[in-house]
Structure 1
Amino acid sequence: MHRCARIVFSLNYHLGKMTPQECIDYPVDKGGLEQANAQAEVRRSFEGRYGPLYQIAYLVGGLQFYALKRE
């Protein structure tokens, strides 16, 4: 849930659909993170060297694993 929340808030932030505060609230509400941890995650995502497509790599990788499992 944590990783999924990161993908959702990161993509929505970069698409202009979420504010920084909404990005913090999302993993608290949906991913079970504590407020301080969510703030650190958001800060790390936006102040680090992560581009807007960084988190989508996790999603694509996960989808590839599901496809392999189905095979």
Structure 2
Amino acid sequence: MSKLPTTVILESILTCPHCGFSKQETMPTDACQFYYECENCKTLLRPKQGDCCVYCSFGSMPCPPIQLQRKCC
């Protein structure tokens, strides 16, 4: 039986696929983040098909529920 991670990383670097701008953000632990506006180009990012949130699509770390190997929100 595999052991679930006990530490969840809450910081993720989001990178805009349109302009390449990156910013470190703190991920919410109580909700999925479906939208994120790029601070640089103002593009509204949405999760890629099959991903639960913008962090799973464009972040350096997946969201907390996915890190804990459970279904997101």
TM normalised by structure 1 equals 0.27
Bigger RCO (CA 8 Å, 6+ sep): 1
Which one has the bigger helix percentage? 1
